[in-house]
Amino acid sequence: MFRKVNFTNKLLLVAAIVGFIVYFVLLEFSEYWLGILTQHQVGPDFYIYFTAYLRTLAGENPYLPYHIGSSFVSHPFVLSFVSLFSWHQEGYLAIFFWVVTSAILWVFVVQLVFHVAIDDTSYILGRQENYQYWHGGMLLIFLGFAPFWETIHIGQINVFVMLALILTYYFSERNSDLLAGFFLALSTVLKTSPIIFVLYFVALRRFKVVGSFLMAFIAFSLIPAIQFSPGVLADFWGILSKLGGEINPIAYNQSALSLLARLFDRWGWEYLAALKWAHKVIMAAFAGAVLVLVALGDSEKRSRLWGFALLLMIMTLSSPLVWYHHSLFLVLPLMLFLWHPGRRYAILGVAVLFVIQSERLFEYKVANFAWPISLAEFILLGVGIWLYWNDWRRSRQPESLVKS
């Protein structure tokens, strides 16, 4: 018996080592694809922010010309945020500070997500004695996460947004409503989509967080109006309606809406307007289901964490624009699946992780059509909602029935 257990442990160790090797080879290829095969320079997205900042200083409209993928489309506070790295107005220095700060903060994000997953799920079971291995493994996995490396390679703002979002959850669970609202507002002015979490706090009846969010959001909006001019807010308002109304069926857009529109185009179907509405209705149904469960199960910390994690997925997947680096926002739900005591769910988490990690290899070797990553992430979302519902249902049963 001892020998059998010992052999099994050795086999698992070998599998883990091989898995890590493959995982990091896929990371290396992802960077090779980005920097060599598609010739992306370091920091192109940051230079969009930086150029918009310089144009705003010169009194121009930073939002024109409007073109998805190459023009500035963020809240004006991003201009103020970028100015913290660009006071010298030297692009190469600004991108250096931006990338270094992003990399350092990502280590903090992964650490905080790991501790949140441990503290708020009650999934410890028999893992106390293996804590250091779990901790080291999770840290290694997400420091080698290809969407993170693409984020810092192209100079995206995602790490700052994810940090603000995980701090929103962290402080809300520690009854620091003012700080929770502050960081939610910060995430929303850095990237508009986190505004969905206002509904999360409404469902929890945490109206102090909502009030703090509104005050902080107004304050963050006033900063660029004072720093530059009030007109920059009007300029942003002028393009805001366009952001959610486009499909952008281009090769790099991994949104389910974009992928289906490209299929429709191949098949000669002309139902794009219906497709847009169907996408909105389906994602609203996902969000509604999660928010109802959040509202009904708000007394349990694990319930709130799962609700927050699933809304992170919905925030990411519901956008009409989903780039590969947006998968960085899935670090929390992926961590919850990897940490889950149910082996099948942990295996699903590993499978989705590898699908995400191998996306660039698939695009290069198979087809420039990102259906594996989109399908895998939607499966993870669907299973996550099903798990959440079952967990909620069991918590409502009498204790005697749960034990039986």
Q: What is the pLDDT of residues 133-167, one digit of tens each?
A: 778 888 999 999 999 999 999 999 999 999 999 99
274-301 tens-digit pLDDT: 888 888 899 999 999 999 999 988 677 8
For the chain, give the percent of residues with pLDDT over 90.
Answer: 66
Domain count, the chain: 1
- Tokens (6 digits) for 181: 């609202």
**Is 317 in contact with 95 (CB distance < 8 Å)?**
no
Q: In this structure, is residue 2 part of a structural domain?
A: no
With 0-12 / 13-18 / 19 or more C-beta atoms within 10 angstroms meaning exposed / middle / buried, residue 40 is middle
Q: In this structure, is residue 32 part of a structural domain?
A: yes
Residue 328 confidence (pLDDT): 97
**Is 173 in contact with 298 (CB distance < 8 Å)?**
no
Instruction: Report the alpha-carbon distance of residue 128 to residue 73 in Å, rounded.
Output: 46
328-373 tens-digit pLDDT: 999 999 999 998 888 899 999 999 999 999 999 999 999 889 999 9
Whether pLDDT at 171 is above 70: yes
pLDDT band at 244 (very low <50, low <70, confident <90, very high): low
**Is 328 in contact with 113 (CB distance < 8 Å)?**
no
Instruction: Report the alpha-carbon distance of residue 109 to residue 337 in Å, rounded.
Output: 17
- Tokens (6 digits) for 239: 């393009």
Residue 269 backbone dihedrals phi, psi, to 5 degrees? -85, 140
Task: In the chain, count H helices and then E strands.
Answer: 19, 0
Residue 356 confidence (pLDDT): 97
> In terms of residues, how long is the chain?
404
Closest among 71, 27, 84, 66 to 45, alpha carbons compared: 71
Closest among 371, 17, 75 to 223, alpha carbons compared: 75
Q: In this structure, is residue 1 part of a structural domain?
A: no
Q: In this structure, is residue 381 part of a structural domain?
A: yes
Residue showing tokens 């920091």: 43
Q: In this structure, is residue 107 part of a structural domain?
A: yes
Whether pLDDT at 403 is above 50: no
**Is 329 in contact with 315 (CB distance < 8 Å)?**
yes
Q: In this structure, is residue 65 part of a structural domain?
A: yes
Mean pLDDT to the nearest integer, 72-85: 95
For residues 235 and 125, which has the higher predicted lDDT (pLDDT)? 235
Q: Which amino acid is at 332?
A: L
Q: Which amino acid is at 46?
A: F
With 0-12 / 13-18 / 19 or more C-beta atoms within 10 angstroms meaning exposed / middle / buried, residue 24 is middle
What is the largest distance, in Å, between two alpha-carbon atoms of the chain? 76
For the chain, give the percent of residues with pLDDT over 70.
Answer: 92
- Tokens (6 digits) for 337: 């699946």
Whether pLDDT at 128 is above 60: no
Q: In this structure, is residue 3 part of a structural domain?
A: no
Instruction: Report the alpha-carbon distance of residue 372 to residue 26 in Å, rounded.
Output: 15
Instruction: Report the alpha-carbon distance of residue 126 to residue 230 in Å, rounded.
Output: 57
Q: How many CB atoms lie within 10 A of CB 309?
A: 24
Cβ partners under 8 Å of residue 315, min gap 6: 193, 194, 196, 197, 329
CA torsion, ordered 68, 317, 149, 252, to nearest 10 deg: -40
Q: In this structure, is residue 4 part of a structural domain?
A: no
- For the chain, the average pLDDT equals 89
Give me the domain span that covers residue 158: 12-403
**Is 390 in contact with 289 (CB distance < 8 Å)?**
no
